[in-house]
Chain A
Amino acid sequence: MYHKEKVGSKHARELLEMLLRIYTPDSMRKCIPEELSEICGLFPDICLIVSRGDIHEVRGISRRTVYMGRTVGIVIRGTPYPYPAFLQSVYKCTGDIRAAIEAYPQGVRAFLYGNDILVASVKRIYRGFRAGDIVGVIDSEDGSVIGIGRASMTPEDLEEALSRGESTRVAVKNIFDLGWFLRVLKPIEE
């Protein structure tokens, strides 16, 4: 049921390449997670890319291992994306936020329900993306990365749309947000 692949897994490599297009290899060197593998079949429609970190393989149970370590990426319909918490750790580790937008509370609320970010909800733009690129979506209230999306326009076009008051245009299309698990899984109480 669970498919696990070590990196060189194609998706994990693609994920790191995506980040290396945003940050220089030098600035990313100490932020790249180690021992990546991919876990599929647990959740509908997505696979997880995990970094094993300090967890070593326990002899004889790899067939029974469902998950281990820390999630750094998700794969949706064959395309890998950085997991929000991992993106946050990259921002912290590099000391530099790139390819991201910061959203006002009303945009954050909508995004966490699976909706897109409209131009009116963009509070701040962190450059380093083109139209069609992956961007991080940041909650302006506390700086948390709440999801990832695809930029509908360049930073310049976004600034222009803001200044022209084109408030209902989509700035970032929702790809994955932190509300996903809650929407997809039936909660189990404890």
Chain B
Amino acid sequence: MAREIAGLGEILRDITIDPSPVARDLARRYGYLPYMIERYIRILGDEAIDLLNAMENPSILRPVARCNSLRIGCIELERRLSRLGFKTRRLEWAPEAIEIIDHPESPSIGATHEYLKGFYYLHRDYSPLIPPLAMRLGRGQRILDSCAAPGGKATYIAQLIGDEGLIIANDISINRLRSLVSNIVRMGFGSIMVTRIDARRIHKDLRLTFERILVDAPCSAEGYIMIDPDRKWRTDQRDLALLVRREIEILLSSLELLEPGGILAYSTCSIAPEENEYVVSRALRHYGEEFDIVDPGFSMWSRGVEDLLIGDIDPRVSRCIRTWPHKHGAGGSFVCIIRRR
């Protein structure tokens, strides 16, 4: 399958928007680049202010201890955490998720004996749990996680398939690979193979097809400004275009490895439509009728945005999922489920 990747100039033309005076004023007040505010206003209208205020508040992110149900019962883990002084709450839609709503001075939730024993994985909030749950996983499947480190989603996938099957967990950064492997070893999974391949060319290096693929693309992290405030001014539109091009390359490369009938989840921890709806639309346009977006079947989060006035956005992106910090009390994220016909 021939793949022509979009040129940087074309992407930049597609995503460039002209901020209104209102956007410029808000950008000054909150310390953002004006183009970012302009699209918040286009997507959210008056709610944009709520989003900006939520991004000023790191405490909206509540850590989630994802219980390793292959090693310990989740009720028992919750009991142990409570004995250590943590106040917890279970998430209805993710049976393994224990949200930490208050914590003692010591120990830190990332350094309890239960953590060291591999009884749970620590997520900074619940958003990362959504993609694996949306992938319709089953025991014995062959699964690729194209950008897997530090391993939260890969280990969740291993858990959801009962550690029976084959997961290829790939990444390129050696530091992040160390974290990935240490999490796999700590949690004791046996079905994961870790590879070091540039995800932009993964279809050239892996001679395998997969029933399920996760592309959790390295992104600008615009959904987590509350813990990374530099993002307000760090990524101008040219830098964003570079990220978008890489995201398109990774998605196209991974789509080539998807079996007919197979499902790929594309996710980011960004609320930038350029990195989400635009990337997915470009991929769908590239492959024509071969791929479709399917509804993941969750109703508690927002939908993808079709009317963005940037590039050509495929209307099917309205089947994708968005979490918004001000609406959902979590980091901003995006998940889209793509099926090969």
Chain A residues near B (Cβ < 8 Å): 1, 42-43, 48, 51, 53-55, 58-61, 64-71, 83, 85, 108-109, 112, 139, 144, 146, 178-179, 181-182, 185-190
- Decide if B117 touches A146 in the complex (CB within 8 Å): yes
Contact residues in A for B150 (Cβ distance below 8 Å): 188-190
Please provide the chain B residues from 83 to 112 with a CB less than 8 Å away from any CB of chain A in the complex.
Answer: 110-111
Known contacts A60-B207, A65-B193, A188-B150; is-contact A108 B113 (Cβ 8 Å): yes
- Decide if B128 touches A190 in the complex (CB within 8 Å): yes
State which of B43-51, B174-182, B232-240 sits at the interface with chain A. Answer: B174-182
Least CB distance from A137 to B in Å reads 13
- Decide if B179 touches A185 in the complex (CB within 8 Å): yes
B139 contacts A by Cβ under 8 Å: no
Least CB distance from A24 to B in Å reads 26
8 Å CB contact of A190 from B123, B174, B208: B123
Least CB distance from B208 to A in Å reads 6
Q: In the complex, which residue of chain B has the Cβ closest to the Cβ of A88? A: B188
Known contacts A53-B190, A144-B117, A190-B152; is-contact A67 B181 (Cβ 8 Å): yes
Helix, strand, loop or mixed for chain B's interface?
mixed
Interface size (B, Cβ < 8 Å)? 41
- Decide if B207 touches A70 in the complex (CB within 8 Å): no
Contact residues in A for B149 (Cβ distance below 8 Å): 188
8 Å CB contact of A181 from B166, B182, B190, B197: B182
Across chains A and B, the number of contacting residue pairs, with CB separation under 8 Å, is 101
Least CB distance from A142 to B in Å reads 8
- Decide if A190 touches B182 in the complex (CB within 8 Å): no
Please provide the chain B residues from 186 to 216 with a CB less than 8 Å away from any CB of chain A in the complex.
Answer: 186, 188-197, 205-208
Query: Could you jot down 18 A-B contacts, CB within 8 Å?
Result: A1-B174, A42-B178, A43-B181, A48-B185, A55-B190, A58-B208, A64-B196, A65-B193, A67-B194, A69-B193, A70-B190, A109-B113, A112-B113, A112-B116, A144-B117, A146-B113, A178-B186, A185-B179
Least CB distance from A33 to B in Å reads 10
Q: Which 10 A-B pairs have the closest CB atoms?
A: A70-B190, A68-B193, A190-B152, A67-B194, A181-B182, A178-B116, A188-B150, A66-B194, A188-B179, A71-B185
Contact residues in B for A187 (Cβ distance below 8 Å): 110, 179
Known contacts A185-B182, A190-B123; is-contact A55 B166 (Cβ 8 Å): yes
B184 contacts A by Cβ under 8 Å: yes
Taken together as a complex, chains A and B put the C-alpha atoms of A108 and B112 apart, in Å, by: 12
